[in-house]
Amino acid sequence: MEFLGENKKVLFLGQAVSVPGTAMSNTLKDINPSQKVEMPVSEEMQMGITNGLALNGLIPVSIFPRWNFLLLAINQLVNHLDKITEISSGGFTPKVIIRTGIGSERPLHPQCQHVGDFSESVQGMCKNVEVIKLIEPQEIFPAYKKALERDDGKSSILVEYGDYYNEK
């Protein structure tokens, strides 16, 4: 996250980006507070704001700690972010980095509403958003670097695994 934060166009937004609350919160502790936007629990609004920031030339890193929460923003993701370039006849090619995860099951299983993996389904709905699952630790930095530096007109969803924070 520090690498992303070096780029002045990058903003991190979501729940628990400025305060503790999720496993992802700790990964943002060294980010400049002016680059963090704490959001209320309103996922569709968060993705709409994410889209607006990207249309204005910023690179939002929109954090949804679990896929199950990102489902609440699918309208903005599939019908807006993924289609903006087509809708605008190439006038806009936003770059968004979406960070999500598959919830941790160990040591305590949070039940089925927190451990979903909708990677394949969402990838099937999007042609301008790439879903990248991060299985091994050595895949993390290159995937985020690619997401930041890509110039192919695509946005990225980077999928982390909650159990791997303590296991890998």
Cβ within 8 Å of residue 39, ≥6 positions away: 13, 14, 15, 17, 45, 46, 49
CA distance 66 to 80: 21
- What single DSSP character describes residue 108? S
pLDDT digits (tens, 9 = 90+) for 143-167: 999 999 999 999 999 999 877 777 7
Contact 131, 159 (CB under 8 A): yes
CA distance 88 to 43: 24
Percentage, residues of the chain above pLDDT 90: 82
> In 3-state terms, what secondary structure has residue 125?
helix
What was the pLDDT predicted at 106? Answer: 78
- Sheet with 36-38: strands ordered across: 36-38, 10-14, 59-64, 97-102, 155-161, 129-133
pLDDT digits (tens, 9 = 90+) for 41-74: 999 999 999 999 999 999 999 999 999 999 999 9
pLDDT digits (tens, 9 = 90+) for 28-40: 999 999 999 999 9
- Phi/psi class of residue 164: alpha, beta or left (left: φ > 0; alpha: ψ in -120 to 50)? alpha
CA distance 31 to 18: 9
In order of start, what are the domains of the chain with their CATH numbers?
2-167 (3.40.50.970)
Length of the chain, in residues: 168
Strand 36-38 vs strand 59-64: parallel, antiparallel, or unpaired? unpaired
What was the pLDDT predicted at 162? Answer: 77
Q: Is the entire prediction scored with pTM above 0.85?
A: yes
Token pair in block for residue 34? 């002016």
Considering only CA atoms, which of 29, 26, 31, 25 is closest in space to residue 4?
Answer: 31
